[in-house]
């Protein structure tokens, strides 16, 4: 089926949960008409150029032959059109050729890109992350010669972290960076799972690589960050000869077949230090956090694509008698459980979308708000929401894609319908850029305890204020009561976590993240429902219906989820062996 860019939903989300008044102070020339114009133009591009390539990319995929990678059919031409349209430069610094637009608007555009063609979107997504890392930590040479070409999309960027023996344990990295005697370094080692590590869609590929210098201490403190490009960069910015690095193979994956995932070999490759020696992991976290938020947006995007296909199928497929009208045969959309499923899919999409866009707004406010107090508050909440945006939204992506297969019934299990591709594509997002269990550990170990829990408590207080306003609105009163119960449950669970650091908190990490995402998502939907309250527009009235369904299906479970996660980890330590033995 054809894909329709959700321009109206995105514009509404930016208007209602994106702190428009605060953002207007930071971007005074940006108005609603400009936002809608950007979204409409991007939507037209992805519908025409990217969505038609999605199925072909899945079937034919990228190819590895004779030491080189060729992109899936049509991807190279589409990428060049993407770069020429300026879509790679939306939020980048105008000093390096960027457009200086808000991060949240860029995320909204990239949601449409990923929904149209997730495998394609991974290439510019990682380039965005490389831009952020070099903007903060690059040398003057790197900013002068490399950064503008990444911003323009002439070159692409990658992130080289893990190795076969390391997995998520980056302290185990062994790639070496030997000084070359001329101020540079030579990289030797193997990196795995390198998304778009090689291709033919752009003139050069800039690899950001974690490695160790000869005298580096063991562990993460011995890791530094290096820039190594596929082709060497001359002092005038022109391209020189090939560097001593190459793809050894590409992986054969469950999904995202159009995205080449490479094993990369560095065989004495010339490289430059990025930032300070021994600070590679903190520097790389700039890139990783940018990518994590973008991956959260991927979860929203693939859910939107799966939902659209499931809705179209449900409206066309006729089976059984409609309980409301008595029509026979009726479209399965007329059956209550199918309709409930579709509304729950849509509600979770809108909740996840709002969480991701809000996190993007906070990223801008953390840099650009007028006062240090505003910047600090925005930065703290951004830190809190980032693991939730990544993990909760990608779990939503998998859940909604799975429900999309379910709505199709047996036809969903058949590849020709396309529903299975969305499920396969969605499944990687909870794994890469920090598996969701790691995000949950980060949330309970670092983010929730910030300021002894004050950041979470302030958020809960805001949610309770919204809950009171909802309770005072007749059509939304039940939503308000359930949001209040959810916010109280989250605050109670946070107090328990702070009192039970260590194994108990870590055992509760994933349920706690789910609780936080469920409640914050309900808050976002509640704010949207308030913005739509009283409107005769059927589309806006639908926002309240989605929020009410979410309250009954999701928020209602929050107190029980909070109660359950506080049971502790005793059985995990004491009796896991007995419980798991066959």
Q: Which residues are catalytic?
A: 433
Q: Looking at residue 70, what DSSP letter applies?
A: E
Q: Which residues on adjacent β-strands are paired with residue 8?
A: none
Q: Are strands 63-65 and 155-160 parallel, antiparallel or unpaired?
A: unpaired
Give the tokens for residue 79: 């990428």
CA distances from 273 to 138, 158, 254, 285, 353 (A): 8, 16, 35, 16, 36
Answer whether 300's CB lies under 8 Å from 356's CB: yes
Distance CA 571, CA 428 (A): 30
Distance CA 137, CA 134 (A): 5
Report yes or no: 123 and 196 within 8 Å, Cβ to Cβ. yes
Q: Are 230 and 294 in contact (CB under 8 A)?
A: no
Place of tokens 């609105």: 473
Name the residue among 168, 47, 196, 23 with its Cα closest to residue 101: 23
Q: Which residue has the tokens 């990289």?
A: 187
Q: How many angstroms separate the first and last alpha carbons of the chain?
A: 45
Instruction: Note whether 560 and 490 are within 8 A (CB).
Output: no
Exposed (0-12), middle (13-18) or buried (19+): which is 166, by Cβ within 10 Å?
middle
Strands 155-160 and 204-212, by their bridges, are parallel
Q: Calculate the CA 319 to chain-centre distance.
A: 37
Rounded Cα distance between 392 and 505, Å, is 18
Q: What Rg value do the Cα atoms of the chain yield, rounded? A: 24
State the helix-helix crossing angle for 419-426 and 51-60, rounded to 10 degrees: 80
- Contacts of residue 246, defined as CB under 8 A and 6 or more positions apart, other chains included, come to 67, 198, 264, 265, 267
> Using the 8-state DSSP alphabet, how is residue 178 labeled?
E
Distance (Å, whole) CA 205 – CA 192: 16
Q: Quick count: other Cβ atoms within 10 Å of Cβ 16?
A: 20
CB-CB contact of 266 with 198 (8 Å): no
User: How are beta strands 155-160 and 68-70 bridged, if at all?
Assistant: unpaired
Site of tokens 């993007």: 360
**CA gap 205, 183 in Å, rounded:** 22
Structure tokens at 21: 């008044």
DSSP codes, 450-480: GGGGHHHHHHHHHHHHHHHHHHTSGGGHHHH
What is the sign, positive or negative, of the torsion defined by CA atoms of 334, 340, 345, 351?
positive
């Amino acid at each position: 089926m054809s894909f329709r860019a959700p321009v109206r939903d995105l514009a509404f989300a930016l208007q209602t949960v994106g702190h428009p008044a605060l953002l207007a102070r930071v971007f005074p020339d940006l108005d609603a008409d400009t936002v809608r114009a950007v979204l409409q133009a991007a939507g037209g591009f992805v519908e025409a150029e990217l969505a038609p390539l999605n199925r072909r990319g899945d079937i034919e995929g990228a190819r590895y032959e004779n030491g080189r990678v060729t992109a899936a059919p049509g991807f190279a031409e589409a990428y060049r059109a993407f770069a020429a349209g300026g879509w790679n430069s939306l939020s980048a610094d105008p000093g390096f050729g960027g457009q200086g637009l808000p991060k949240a608007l860029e995320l909204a555009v990239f949601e449409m890109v990923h929904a149209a063609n997730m495998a394609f979107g991974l290439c510019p997504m990682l380039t965005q992350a490389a831009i952020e890392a070099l903007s903060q930590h690059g040398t003057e040479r790197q900013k002068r010669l490399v950064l503008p070409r990444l911003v323009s999309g002439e070159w692409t960027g990658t992130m080289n972290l893990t190795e076969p023996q390391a997995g998520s344990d980056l302290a185990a990295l062994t790639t070496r960076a030997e000084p070359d005697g001329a101020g540079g370094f030579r990289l030797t080692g193997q990196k795995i799972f390198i998304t778009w590590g090689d291709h033919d869609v752009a003139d050069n590929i800039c690899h950001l690589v974690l490695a160790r210098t000869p005298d580096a201490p063991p562990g993460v403190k011995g890791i530094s960050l290096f820039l190594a490009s596929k082709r060497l960069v001359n002092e005038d910015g022109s391209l020189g000869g090939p560097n001593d690095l190459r793809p050894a193979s590409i992986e054969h994956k469950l999904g995202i077949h159009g995205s080449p995932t490479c094993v990369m070999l560095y065989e004495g490759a010339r490289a430059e230090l990025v930032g300070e020696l021994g600070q590679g992991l903190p520097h790389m976290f700039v890139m990783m956090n940018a990518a994590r938020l973008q991956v959260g947006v991927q979860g929203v995007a693939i859910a939107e694509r799966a939902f659209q296909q499931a809705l179209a199928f449900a409206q066309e497929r006729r089976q059984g008698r409609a309980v409301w009208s008595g029509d026979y045969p009726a479209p399965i959309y007329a059956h209550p459980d199918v309709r409930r499923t579709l509304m729950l899919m849509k509600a979770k999409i809108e909740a996840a979308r709002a969480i991701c866009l809000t996190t993007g707004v906070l990223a801008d406010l953390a840099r650009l708000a007028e006062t240090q107090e505003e910047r600090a508050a925005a930065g703290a909440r951004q830190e809190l929401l980032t693991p939730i945006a990544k993990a909760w939204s990608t779990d939503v992506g998998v859940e909604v894609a799975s429900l999309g297969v379910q709505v199709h019934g047996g036809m969903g299990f058949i590849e020709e319908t396309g529903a299975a591709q969305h499920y396969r594509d969605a499944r990687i997002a909870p794994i890469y850029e920090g598996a969701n269990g790691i995000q949950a550990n980060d949330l309970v170990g670092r983010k929730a305890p910030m300021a002894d829990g004050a950041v979470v408590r302030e958020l809960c207080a805001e949610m309770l204020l919204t809950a009171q306003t909802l309770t005072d609105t007749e059509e939304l009163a039940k939503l308000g009561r359930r949001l209040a119960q959810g916010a109280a449950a989250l605050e109670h669970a946070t107090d328990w976590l702070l009192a039970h650091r260590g194994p108990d908190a870590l055992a509760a990490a994933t349920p706690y993240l789910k609780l936080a995402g469920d409640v914050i998502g309900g808050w976002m939907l509640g704010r949207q429902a308030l913005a739509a309250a009283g409107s005769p527009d059927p589309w806006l009235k639908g926002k309240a219906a989605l929020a009410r369904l979410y309250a009954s299906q999701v928020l209602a479970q929050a107190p029980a989820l909070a109660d359950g996660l506080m049971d502790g980890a005793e059985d995990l330590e004491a009796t896991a062996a007995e419980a798991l033995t066959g």
